[in-house]
Structure 1
Amino acid sequence: MVNILLIVVFLLLGFFLQRFKFVPANTSKYLNNYLIYVVLPALALRYLPQIKLRTELFLPVAAAWIGFGLSWLIFGTLGKKYGWGNSITGCLVITAGLANTSFVGIPIMQALYGEEAVIIALLIDQAGSFIIVSSVAVIVASIYSVGKKRKRDITRKILTFPPFLFFLIAFGLNFYGLEIGGRFEALLQVITATLTPVALTSVGLQVKVDFAALKSKFLWYGLSYKLLLIPLVILLLFKYVFQLEGLILQVSVMEAAMAPMITGSIIAITHDLEPKLASLLVGIGIPLSFFTLAIWYFILS
């Protein structure tokens, strides 16, 4: 219960800090850089070397790919049928298709299910969401926008991204049966302990709520898919088709039910794919997701 309250407190802290002029406008950028270059690599080194790899762990990773693939299929088809235009269609595919599995997802999984859930969430984020947002999402953005992105640039971005590099290093340690101990392990514990306060404060700083735009039907199309439809699909598919149960099922569904990813919205915005809608999906999606996540948590309990 205390962990859940901390999540709400730091999210609200970030949201209210937006109102004070003494807080630099680029504070969230610095916090995000700390998370990307320090905390996420530390999480990988702390948890992944000790994980026992099992076939069923590939399913949570697959959930992220299913979520994005189904988003492309549904919104791509509907966009063509009803003539939404490339800008709206591309925005919905990318922003609704990607879940905030790291900055919001990992702290919530840790609070709800404990340390073991962090390992599963980290797998979903690094082998699923990150690779998608760094490659397939950029390709989709290029298809629906005027500008093009070279394949070489996409590959370089993936291979030089610090969390992904440490993700590979951690799995190398796992493969050779090596674990990190001593003072370095203690340092990793201190660093990873900062995940929740820093990540949720950063998210709160970036949330922009535009109540005047709540009438947009495309906003609700995207949020209905992200917060309701795709977690339902993952629940039914994993539970009744793949016979998955327990913590892996819970984390897979809950991570699928996370609000749209901030990085995904940034990709849509930088490719001029309905920037206002992309921002709105995140700004409304994150606070709304706390209510829908509570419902999914109750269903899975």
Structure 2
Amino acid sequence: MENLLYLFILLALGKISRRLSAFPENTPQILNLFVIYFSFPATVLLKTKNLNLGTDLAVLALTPWALMLMTVLGIRLIAWYRRWDRKTEGTVMLCTGLGNTSFLGFPAVAAFFGEDALSYAVIYDQLGTFLGLAIFGTLVVSVYGTSTRPSIKQIILNIIGFPPFLALTASLCLMKVTFPLPVIKLLEGVSATMIPLVMFSIGAQLRLRQPFSNVKPISLILFLKMMVFPLMVFFCLTMMKVHGPVLHISVFESAMPSMVMSGVLAQSGRLNAEVANAAIGYGLVLSFITLPFFDLLLKMFP
């Protein structure tokens, strides 16, 4: 797919930049700050302002939230058993709970299920993954981004002060306000910088050869996010007699690799960015195998 090739090119450019003296050592950190304070909030304002959900499509919105809850419970248990440090636990939780359901998910859905299925993917992404990024992502960074367990007050202050969350709050308050065309154009321009900057930053930080201590967390993220969770969604929804596009898109979107923004959050939140970036990079490669597999599976259940 063209979008997947685009992601790989941006990753490669980021990787190449590390060999060029023109790019300072802290280039990824600067790019991540721009994304957190400008690109991501602009995207939130654009995508969440005019949400509309019918009750018959509620399963699409609730599925990613159910997966986020399962992620918290499952990773907490695994981290306790493995005796992971807090930063690794938070990173695995972040990368397992959030999928690349828009930039990779939308073109993948269109390619495998046709353009008509995109409306279902938009519901899954906007009311599920995207809101989860602003709320679940902020909460994980607030809780695990410090060496000591933060107080409830600290968590609340971190969430309130997180730029994407402020943008989400503003967007919900301004739902009935029509933005002037120049404002929309400005937001679209700033929002368009998010994916290129994020992928370039990830490429600049990506290490294909990982320390042995990172292998298990990365493998767990890939296994849970791209195989276990979508299979669980498939069996649960099938037992609930859900079928057609709602079943297909819920399962297919849940099979997407880790969201690219999880790498930025891991970096800005002082988590294990090395693990996050590796999981994102390897996940994109594995999606060439896992997504066709789930497409074949779902075609057996019209």
Taking structure 1 as the reference length, the TM-score comes to 0.75
1:45 paired to 2:45:
yes
Cα distance 1:44–1:265, how it changes in 2: closer, same or farther (>3 A)? closer
Q: For residue 82 of structure 2, what is the aligned residue in structure 1?
A: 84
Contact 2:44/2:168, CA 8 A, preserved across alignment? yes
Opposite residue 221 of structure 1, the aligned amino acid is L
Q: Where does residue 109 of structure 1 map in the other structure?
A: 105
Partner of 1:170 in structure 2? 171
| Whole-angstrom CA distance in 1 between matches of 2:21 and 2:283 | 28
Partner of 2:159: 158
Change (3 A) 1:164 1:292: same
CA distance in 2, matches of 1:12, 1:162: 29
Query: Mean Cα displacement is larger for which, 286-295 or 118-127?
Result: 118-127
Label 1:57 to 1:214 Cα distance change in 2 as closer, same or farther (>3 A).
farther
> In structure 2, the residue corresponding to 1:50 is in which secondary structure?
coil
- Aligned partners of 2:228 and 2:11: how far apart in 1? 25
Q: Percent identity?
A: 19
CA distance in structure 2 between the partners assigned to 1:268 and 1:196 by the alignment = 19
C-alpha spacing 1:257/1:103, structure 2 compared with 1 (3 Å) = closer
Letter in 1 for 2:166: L
Q: Is the 8 A contact 1:99 1:259 kept in 2?
A: yes
**Partner Cα separation in structure 1 for residue 161 and residue 48 of structure 2:** 19
CA distance 1:53–1:11, shift in 2 (3 Å): same
Deviation at 1:78, TM superposition (A): 4.8
Tell me, in whole angstroms, the C-alpha distance in 2 between the residues paired with 1:161 and 1:58: 28
Post-superposition shift, 1:228? 1.9
- RMSD of Structure 2 on Structure 1 (CA): 3.7
> Do the aligned residues in 2 keep the contact of 1:71 with 1:97 (CA within 8 Å)?
yes
Matching of residues 117-128 of structure 1 within 5 Å: 117=121, 120-128=124-132
Whole-Å Cα distance in 2 between the matches of residues 184 and 62 of structure 1? 32
- Decide whether the 8 Å contact of 1:14 with 1:205 is kept in 2: yes
Unaligned 5+ residue runs, structure 1?
271-277
* Change in CA separation of 1:190 and 1:34 when aligned onto 2, cut-off 3 Å: same
Name the CA distance, whole Å, in 2 between partners of 1:102 and 1:219: 14
- Counterpart-to-counterpart distance in 2, 1:163 and 1:79: 28
Residue of structure 2 in register with 1:67 after alignment = 67
Which range moved further: 146-155 or 213-222? 213-222
CA–CA separation in structure 2 for the residues paired with 1:59 and 1:244: 11
CA contact (8 A) 1:61 1:123 kept: yes
Query: 1:41/1:240 Cα in 2 relative to 1: closer, same or farther (>3 Å)?
Result: farther
CA shift for structure 1 position 30: 1.8
